Structure 1
Amino acid sequence: MAGESRFPDVDSNGSEKNEDIEIIVNVGGARQVLYGENLNRYPATRLAQLINCLSGGYDTIFSLCDDYDPGKREFYFDRDPDAFKCIIDIYYFGEIHMKKGICPICFKNEMEFWKVDLKFLDDCCKTHLSEKKEELEEIARRVQLILDDLGVDASENRWKRCQKYIWKLMEKPESSYSARVIAVLSFLFILISSVVMCLGTIPELQIVDSEGNHVEHPTLDNIETACIGWFTLEYMLRLISSPNKLYFVISFMNIIDVFAILPFYVSLILTHLGAGMMELTNVQQAVQALRIMRIARIFKLARHSTGLQTLTYALKRSFKELGLLLMYLAVGIFVFSALGYTMEQSHPETLFKSIPQSFWWAIITMTTVGYGDIYPKTTLGKLNAATSFLCGVIAIALPIHPIINNFVRYYNKQRVLETAAKHELELMELYSGEGKVGGSKNELEDLMGEGKERPSWSRQLKVSHSDTFIHLLSDEKHYRTRLQSCK
């Protein structure tokens, strides 16, 4: 009786009813019996089109599948069976969930092959897909940067080539030995400037001027001037050679560079010209305030430290966890400071004068600092202090683990992206057969072909014939005849 079910019913006109048609789909060795009643819910999909293709001849059939057995009515597809098991759920549940372990980009390509719209993919799975796209775009960006460094455009004039050379010299330490030397020198100047700023505050190293004020030693001033001269020269060279000067000026790290340099020149102007326009005391206070701004130069180390950049990014991604931490502490500080103030009022020598003043005690207690300048003297107050201490430890410990995970995840991700970018370059070199990745941009464009709307990095990456990029970064549709690995 099972064999009879393969023969569809016939309507009054002699044609088969689509709802009664039963077909067998063999995807990568996994056989699945499907019914027209389910498939016709989404007629635009490839499986629904199989029902209507039987009357169109073998040309129509083989335009939709890889092979066909007319005796069994079995359609063969050389596709990923695991992804197909997820995609088939749309005909029964109206949505698709992606299983763990399946590459989001490969799954997206499978959905495109089966002509299933991405809107049926659940939101949780769309998040994985967007993250994977971001990773691929970051790899593409890194590859493009390397290609720009290796490529030499003969059509550029001498000034453009010189500008590009200076930019690589100042911004890309890995590009040459000279660039590494300049990066090391910049790092040393930052350290020396920071050390000089600290040493200048030691009274034993200060001298007394003609007015009886303690000022920095002239030697330290000379070292500070030399460091500022280097920072100024470095910033000007980077600004002149920058390919996008507006983006360069508004970049956060470059704003830090300006704040590290500007106080020196402003204080110099105020010292020589400000005395005639305002009182000397005001000038000295303004100069002192500007000199304190020199601490901003320590953030210049982030330019030369991948670890600091990773930490900054991890903190940006951990705003939610940091917000929870601050919220926990704020609630605890308010509660325990109010309790401490109430419990300590019975003691004649209480140190808790008001609830706002008790905030300081609650902060240093919950953060386990405990200066001891304010402390409880009653038994209930001490119990309240012990409770606030334990709650503070728990409140601080809970959000720490997600923050650490964000740091480790981003650090590992950067290493993976760097390796993937090198892998793409190796594939491009292997495909070109020229022994080097570089060459002129015109040669690369000849290999890649013209593409007006696609970004340059998309066209260049297509040279590598990488399974990772060719389906994502190209506007063309590539349907695979076999399951390709995802690196």
Structure 2
Amino acid sequence: MSKYRILEILKGTRDNDIASKICNRFLITLIITNIIAVILESVPELRSEYSEFFITFETFSVTIFTIEYLLRFWTAGFDSDWGDYTKIKRRMKYALSGNGLIDLIAILPSLLPILFPNLDLRTLRILRLVRILKISNYSTALEDLYHSIYAERKALTAAIYIFFLVVLFSSTITYMVENTAQPDKFSSIPQTLWWAVITLTTVGYGDVYPITALGQFIGSITALLGVCTVALLTGIIAASFSNQAQKRKEEQNLIMFKKQLQAAFRDGSISEDEEIMLEDLRDQLGIPDYKVAKLKKDIGLKE
């Protein structure tokens, strides 16, 4: 098997690639079963009774994940998506990328005890939960969500800044109002921060609450501001995610149309029937005229 074929299987770049689909589904299943195993292993009775099974399954899993990481690291040198660099620089870009670091962290909890026998195994078991983040390698929806958050990072930062401002002012004013009436529950601004955060996030545990009329009014305003802030954050992410999903769909439609255009132009010309078929496909996919003209220019087709 060639290195480029391995790259295609790992990235799933070809449509209807059976080998790529089998590989991705196997790895996703392995990741999910790993998370279940970590959860079940925390039960003392199950850990003692099935310890040998857990060890065997962990050894098998970390072997597969290590092979996957090494293959991704190796094939990154031939992947043009990592830029026009040397093979070593491309591999380093993968290793230092988000997905590369997640892939590495996924295998470290099992490899570190070999190098450092005195490490706390309980902490390392919890770190194995990071493996669930590997699913983003095989899910375009999760990838779109990450891109959406990154694209709106400035707007999200502004919304979070507003949230902290509201928390600060709300806790300060509430402390001033409620301290005399409830010195045990609102003894300081840091202690009042707990009430402000719980109220703003609309959780409302009910263990701490204002009893004065002014304090209850401030609490009501804080709760309303909390709903507005959460709605603002949700709206920013939802709108960006929708735009990202639409962008990906447009890219997929463009690729589909380009393939049909190349197939029609394979003999050096496009017949009248093929032109009608392409026009119908363009209308179905909603591809604008300027993009169609650019595609035709790219493949050497004159208008």
Q: TM-score, normalised by structure 2?
A: 0.79
Judge conservation of contact 2:99–2:134 (CA < 8 Å) in 1.
yes
Matches within 5 A, 1:253-402: 253-271=99-117, 283-285=118-120, 287-347=121-181, 350-402=184-236
Residue in 2 aligned with 1:196?
37
Judge conservation of contact 2:94–2:100 (CA < 8 Å) in 1.
yes
**Matched residue of 2:10: which SS?**
helix
Alpha-carbon shift at residue 193 of structure 1 (Å):
0.7
Shift in CA distance, 398/234, structure 1 to aligned 2, threshold 3 Å: closer
Residue in 1 aligned with 2:239?
405
Residue in 2 aligned with 1:163?
3
In structure 2, what is the Cα distance between the partners aligned to 1:360 and 1:193?
A: 35
Alpha-carbon shift at residue 349 of structure 1 (Å):
5.3
In structure 1, what is the Cα distance between the partners aligned to 2:231 and 2:219?
A: 18
In structure 1, what is the Cα distance between the partners aligned to 2:130 and 2:145?
A: 17
Alpha-carbon shift at residue 394 of structure 1 (Å):
1.6
Judge conservation of contact 2:156–2:236 (CA < 8 Å) in 1.
no
In structure 1, what is the Cα distance between the partners aligned to 2:198 and 2:182?
A: 23
**Matched residue of 1:432: which SS?**
coil
Q: Where do 5+ consecutive residues of structure 2 fail to align? A: 79-86, 269-290
What amino acid does structure 1 have at the position aligned with 2:109?
A: P
CA root-mean-square deviation: 2.7
**Matched residue of 1:169: which SS?**
helix
Judge conservation of contact 1:324–1:399 (CA < 8 Å) in 2.
no
**Matched residue of 1:369: which SS?**
coil
Judge conservation of contact 1:345–1:352 (CA < 8 Å) in 2.
yes
Residue in 2 aligned with 1:220?
54
In structure 1, what is the Cα distance between the partners aligned to 2:292 and 2:224?
A: 54
What is the CA deviation profile of residues 199-225 of structure 1, one whole-angstrom value per residue up to 9, with x for unaligned ones?
Answer: 1112332339xxxxxxx8332222122
What amino acid does structure 1 have at the position aligned with 2:166?
A: G
Alpha-carbon shift at residue 254 of structure 1 (Å):
1.5
Alpha-carbon shift at residue 380 of structure 1 (Å):
2.4
Q: Where do 5+ consecutive residues of structure 1 fail to align? A: 1-160, 209-215, 272-282, 435-464
In structure 2, what is the Cα distance between the partners aligned to 1:268 and 1:360?
A: 42
Overall identity of the aligned pairs, in %: 25
| Number of equivalenced pairs | 268
Q: TM-score, normalised by structure 1?
A: 0.51
Q: Report which of the two has the higher share of helix.
A: 2
What is the CA deviation profile of residues 307-337 of structure 1, one whole-angstrom value per residue up to 9, with x for unaligned ones?
Answer: 1011111111111221222122111111110
Shift in CA distance, 332/165, structure 1 to aligned 2, threshold 3 Å: same
In structure 1, what is the Cα distance between the partners aligned to 2:177 and 2:45?
A: 48
Higher mean displacement: 335-344 or 372-381: 372-381
In structure 1, what is the Cα distance between the partners aligned to 2:25 and 2:182?
A: 62
Residue in 1 aligned with 2:82?
none
In structure 1, what is the Cα distance between the partners aligned to 2:37 and 2:123?
A: 17
In structure 2, what is the Cα distance between the partners aligned to 1:395 and 1:179?
A: 42
In structure 2, what is the Cα distance between the partners aligned to 1:307 and 1:410?
A: 9
What amino acid does structure 2 have at the position aligned with 1:366?
A: L
Residue in 2 aligned with 1:181?
22
Alpha-carbon shift at residue 404 of structure 1 (Å):
1.6
Q: Report which of the two has the higher share of strand.
A: 1
1:468 to 291, 294, 298: 294
Alpha-carbon shift at residue 179 of structure 1 (Å):
2.1
